[in-house]
Chain A
């Protein structure tokens, strides 16, 4: 049985906006995608192609960055920002086990009756005890 799918309230608004903007073709493909993610989460495997958000945040904190990103990051880096990064890592770790925080992308969601392709990134949390998958943030990517 697939995990139950929930949305953080603001993330729900972001997904609704995308669905309203790109119409029924995107609604169908998006729903199939998230249902497949919920089914994969239930098998307790890593989601296909999903990046580990905790590891990404750790890379930021330890500056394990590609050289071209180090300058960019150095420009923005500040104590409050570092604290926020640590706070997200803590939020993820404090709920573990059974929490996982991952990022997934799709670049081929058909929009406007399949006339264009829409790229979407989802930030997700997966709770293996409550058996749910929560979309925490959705953003459209340039395609």
Chain B
């Protein structure tokens, strides 16, 4: 996955475009960037990111039960370090 920094966008192409993207993603939605009638990119808001992480972890745990075992031990452990 390629990540585009909104801070970089602001520096490189200006405040207006960055603001437009930020507004498009308000309400945790997905947003698409089009050019010449073609889809160029799809952007994910926080809820879409959360859903994607949820699905990937679900996939990981469903296909690798050893991880469930490991997580159980880790979440029950009180052996904490800084």
CA distance A7 to B68 in the complex (A): 18
Given contacts A10-B74, A50-B53, A136-B75, contact A73 B62 (CB under 8 A): yes
Given contacts A49-B49, A51-B53, contact A6 B72 (CB under 8 A): no
List chain B residues, Cβ under 8 A from A8: 74, 77, 79-80
Which residues, 32 to 61 on A, are CB-close (under 8 Å) to B?
Answer: 48-53, 55-57, 59-60
List chain B residues, Cβ under 8 A from A92: 75
Say which size band chain A's interface belongs to: 35 or more
**Residue A2 lies at the interface, judged by CB distance under 8 Å to chain B:** no
Most buried by B among A56, A66, A125: A56
**Residue A88 lies at the interface, judged by CB distance under 8 Å to chain B:** yes
Task: Establish whether residues A123 and B71, one from each chain, have CB atoms under 8 Å apart when the complex forms.
Answer: yes
Q: Which residue of A lies closest to B1 (CB)?
A: A107
Given contacts A76-B65, A81-B65, A88-B72, contact A49 B46 (CB under 8 A): yes
List chain A residues, Cβ under 8 A from B57: 51, 53, 56, 103, 121
Task: Establish whether residues B81 and A136, one from each chain, have CB atoms under 8 Å apart when the complex forms.
Answer: no
List chain B residues, Cβ under 8 A from A131: none
Given contacts A76-B65, A137-B70, contact A6 B81 (CB under 8 A): yes
Q: List 9 A-B pairs, Cβ < 8 Å.
A: A48-B49, A49-B53, A50-B50, A53-B57, A87-B76, A92-B75, A123-B71, A136-B75, A137-B74
A-B pairs, top 10 by smallest CB distance, nearest first, are A49-B49, A108-B3, A73-B62, A51-B53, A51-B54, A136-B74, A6-B80, A107-B1, A9-B79, A76-B65
A interface, CB within 8 angstroms of B: 5-12, 48-53, 55-57, 59-60, 65-66, 69, 72-73, 76, 78, 81, 84-85, 87-88, 91-92, 101, 103-105, 107-108, 117, 119, 121, 123, 125, 134, 136-137, 143
B interface, CB within 8 angstroms of A: 1, 3, 46, 49-51, 53-59, 61-63, 65, 68-72, 74-77, 79-82
